[in-house]
Amino acid sequence: MTFSEQLTNWYLPNKRDLPWRNTQDPYKIWLSEIILQQTRIEQGLSYYYTFVEKYPTVADLAAAELDAVLKDWEGLGYYSRARNLHFTANSVMDSLNGKFPNSYEELLKLKGVGTYTAAAISSFASKEKRAVVDGNVYRVLGRLYNIEDPIDANPGKKRYQEIADDLISDKYPDLHNQAIMEFGATHCTKHKPKCETCIFQKQCLAFQKNTIDSRPVKKKKNKIQNRYLNFYHIADQNNFLIQQRTDKGIWFQLYQLPLHESLDKRGFDNHIPNLELLGDFEIFSIHPDRNLIHLLSHQKLHIRFWKIEVKELKKIEQHQLVSLADPVAKAFPKPISEFLQNQLKPKLFQK
C-alpha cells in the first residue's frame, strides 16, 4: 500500500465535517483558505459562514464596500487578507469576466494567493495534482523523514516540496491533500502527537530517533517588538471622535480612536494626553480608563485607553464624529471594538 493510500484510509473515517470540504466551487474554497490562514478552524468557521451568506458569489464580494468587508472581518486579525479578498474579487470581475479560476497557474496570478493556496484550491476544485505544504504538512513530513533542514530557508522549503510532490496520489490529489493536513492538525499534532496509535509509527524516523519535539526545524525566532499606544476616547453627550488608520502597518484602513504612540515604556508610563489635539474644546475631565496588552504575531501592544469628556465636540481635520449610541458601525481593531462595546453597556441599564 502506498503512503497516500494509507493516509486516505486513515482520513476517511477520521475527518472532521467542514463546510468547505463539501464544495468544488473555487471561490468558496478560496474564501475558506484565506480565512484559515493564521487562524484556528474553530475561530474561522463563523467567519466562513458569514462570508458565504453575505457574499455568495465573487460578484457579490466585488460589489461590497471595502469598509463593509473589513467590518465583517473584524476580530479575525491580519486585515491585509480582507483587503486582498476585496481587491481580488474586483480583479476577477474586471479581468476574468467574473469566472473564478481553478487552475494552479491562474490562481497564482491572484493577489494574496501563494503556492500553498493555489495548490489547495486547484486540487480541491479540479483535482489538479499539486501537493500542498503548509504548517501541518511541514510537521508531518519533518517527523516522518526526520528532516534537519530548516523550513524557513529556501533549501529546506525546496526539499519539503519535493517530498510532498513525490508522495501525492495521481488519482486522488484532493483527498491526499485534505488527508495530510488533517493528519497534522488532529493526529500528528505539535504537542502530544498520538504516536501510540499512529499508522506510520514504524516508518516514522523522528519517533525512532526521539526527535519529535524538535521537528520541523526552524532557524529564526520571531522577534517581538513592544509598542505603547494611548487611545483617546474623546466624547461629549452624544458623539465621540474616530480616525481611519492610513499607515501601512498593522490595522491599515481600519478605524481607531485618536492615537498617541509613546516611544518607550517610560514615555508611556508618564504620558498625559496631548491637549493640542483637542483644539479649543472645553474639557470636563481626563482620566485613564483601562490598560491592556494585545499580542500580535510580531508585536506586543501595550494599550491604555483615556476617557476625555468635553462640553461640545466639533469635527476636527482627519477625524469623524460617531454617535455614542452606535459605537461599532465601522471596522475597529479588536481591542478598540471591545473597549467601545464596554462603553455602551452602562447605557443599556439606564432605562
Residue 276, number of CB atoms within 10 A of its CB: 6
Strands (E), the chain: 225-235, 239-244, 255-256, 259-262, 283-295, 299-310, 320-323
Per-residue interface string for the shown chain with ligand SF4, residues 85-124, x marking contact by CB under 6 A: ----------------------------------------
Residue 305 and residue 233 in contact, taking contact as beta carbons nearer than 8 Å: yes
Q: Is 111 helix (H, G, I), strand (E, B) or coil?
A: coil
Residue 120: C-alpha distances to residues 108, 271, 293 (Å): 11, 49, 35
Closer residue to ligand SF4 (CB): 143 or 304: 143
Candidates 91-99, 191-199, 284-292, 329-337: pick the segment binding ligand SF4 (CB under 6 A).
191-199
Q: Is 217 helix (H, G, I), strand (E, B) or coil?
A: coil
Closer residue to ligand SF4 (CB): 28 or 143: 143
Grid cell of 55 as nine digits = 457574499
Whats the size of the chain, residue-wise? 351
Residue 75 and residue 96 in contact, taking contact as beta carbons nearer than 8 Å: no
Residues 6+ apart with CB under 8 A from 197: none
Residue 147 and residue 217 in contact, taking contact as beta carbons nearer than 8 Å: yes
User: Please, what is the minimum distance in Å from the beta carbon of residue 42 to ligand SF4?
Assistant: 22
User: Please, what is the minimum distance in Å from the beta carbon of residue 101 to ligand SF4?
Assistant: 34
Candidates 65-73, 93-101, 203-211, 265-273: pick the segment binding ligand SF4 (CB under 6 A).
203-211
Closer residue to ligand SF4 (CB): 193 or 333: 193
200 sits near ligand SF4 (criterion: CB under 6 A):
yes
Q: CA triplet 221, 227, 231: central angle to 5 degrees?
A: 150
Grid cell of 310 as nine digits = 468635553
* Spatial separation of the C-alpha atoms in residues 215 and 200, rounded to whole Å: 16
User: Please, what is the minimum distance in Å from the beta carbon of residue 3 to ligand SF4?
Assistant: 11
Per-residue interface string for the shown chain with ligand SF4, residues 270-309, x marking contact by CB under 6 A: ----------------------------------------
Closest CA to 225 of 244, 192, 250, 188: 250
Closer residue to ligand SF4 (CB): 202 or 345: 202
Candidates 156-164, 189-197, 277-285, 338-346: pick the segment binding ligand SF4 (CB under 6 A).
189-197
- Which residue of the set 33, 74, 128, 182 is catalytic? 33
Question: What are the φ and ψ backbone dihedral angles of 101, each rounded to 5 degrees?
Answer: -70, 155
Closer residue to ligand SF4 (CB): 142 or 258: 142
User: Please, what is the minimum distance in Å from the beta carbon of residue 129 to ligand SF4?
Assistant: 23
Grid cell of 105 as nine digits = 497557474
User: Please, what is the minimum distance in Å from the beta carbon of residue 183 to ligand SF4?
Assistant: 8
175 sits near ligand SF4 (criterion: CB under 6 A):
no
Question: What are the φ and ψ backbone dihedral angles of 138, each rounded to 5 degrees?
Answer: -55, -45
Q: Residue 294's beta-bridge partner residues? A: 301
212 sits near ligand SF4 (criterion: CB under 6 A):
yes
137 sits near ligand SF4 (criterion: CB under 6 A):
no
4 sits near ligand SF4 (criterion: CB under 6 A):
no
193 sits near ligand SF4 (criterion: CB under 6 A):
yes
Residue 33 among the catalytic residues: yes
188 sits near ligand SF4 (criterion: CB under 6 A):
yes
User: Please, what is the minimum distance in Å from the beta carbon of residue 195 to ligand SF4?
Assistant: 3
> Site residues (CB under 6 A) for ligand SF4?
143-144, 187-188, 193-195, 198, 200-201, 204, 206-207, 212
Active site residues: 33
